[in-house]
Amino acid sequence: MENQFEAKLYEFLKLFWLRPENGMMCAFKSRAFEDIEFEGPSLDISCADGLFLFIHLGGSFGMDFDIFSATKASEFSHDKFVDIFDHYQPGYAPSIIQNPAVTIDYGTDWKQGLLDKAASLKLYDNLVLHDNNKVPLPLPDEHFKTVYSNSIYWVKNVGPLMKDVYRTMQSGGRAIMEVKTPYLLETLDQLEPVLSAEAVGILNRQRRETMPGTMTLDNWNEIFKSAGFEIEDVRNVYPNKLLIDIWNVGLRPVAHLLVRMADAIPAEERNAIKAEWVDIFFKLLRPLLNLKQTYTLDKAPYLCFILRK
């Protein structure tokens, strides 16, 4: 592969093969802060299963492992919200080809099943079960030099959380916050006059209802400054609306069915199909890595803030 960006795309496609649009978006999300070194002590807030940061930091998995290796896909339906990935089962064992060059001192999440999955990676030295809607965080004062999160928009009141994140950081430390804006779901807004309410609901999957911290660039600027941070940089993560439109539709409507079908296939055949599947989507999506920038920061759907204490 020609460059690191393409290599990351391939790794994320292996991880998200049944949702290739997610793999593509993760590659862009990773690129947005690839220049930021994770100096310790470090913290990943809402680390989930740890798979994203594992690949971002240079890790790699075998073809026989992916994010769909242990799910609750059989419990999913379009009329209720089910996190199919919040499921740990005995025997969950990622096949690791390469470990990241660094480890993370602390990871937090509010779902024990996801933390159990993260523990299997040996990426985090400490894992803490905690709901970020409750402050203070169970973490020491002025301790962390690098803090990362791509999930603070799930919190009902982000301001107090960010003030407490500031408390936990060393003077001069950096926080990397990837956040959503109201433009992320604009594809659904444009489809509403065309599709039925039921069809839009299938594409939405209750994202509108479960992302209370979706705010504009100005709102995010105010929250981070009010918490005490200096805004060192703001980066547009997804440069082109075409990416957003693909992600908002993609294989999302049938993903739970694809997981169930993949689970019903013998392991050897599943791996063979997956390898061919990943190669096809890599060829289809690789050209999109070079899409031209069409968003201004104030209209961007997803932003990466580099903050300094």
Answer yes or no: are the C-beta atoms of 235 and 36 closer than 8 Å: no
Given this model, what pLDDT does residue 21 score? 97
Residue 74 has what pLDDT?
67
CATH number for domain 4-308, candidates 3.40.50.150, 3.40.50.720, 1.20.120.1200, 3.20.20.70: 3.40.50.150
pLDDT digit string (tens) for 8-62? 999 999 999 999 999 999 999 999 999 999 999 999 999 999 999 999 999 999 9
CA atoms 119, 121, 126, 130: torsion sign:
negative
Please list the residues that pair with 231 across neighbouring strands.
307
| pLDDT profile of the chain (309 residues), mean per 10 | 87 97 97 97 97 98 91 68 71 93 96 94 97 96 98 92 98 97 93 93 83 90 98 97 96 92 94 97 97 95 98
Residues 6+ apart with CB under 8 A from 98: 58, 59, 60
Q: What is the pLDDT of residue 224?
A: 98
Q: Quick one: pLDDT at residue 211?
A: 77
Scanning 17-82, the segments in alpha helix (DSSP H) are 20-31, 51-56
Q: Where are the beta strands (DSSP E) in the chain?
A: 42-45, 60-61, 96-98, 104-109, 124-129, 144-149, 169-180, 230-236, 302-308
- pLDDT, residue 73, reads 64
Q: What is the pTM of this model?
A: 0.94
Q: What is the per-residue pLDDT for 208?
A: 82
Q: Which pLDDT belongs to residue 86?
A: 66
8 A C-beta contact, residue 139 and residue 107: no
- Per-residue DSSP letter, 39: P
Rounded to whole angstroms, the Cα distance separating 44 from 57 reads: 12
Give me the residue spans of the domains in the chain: 4-308
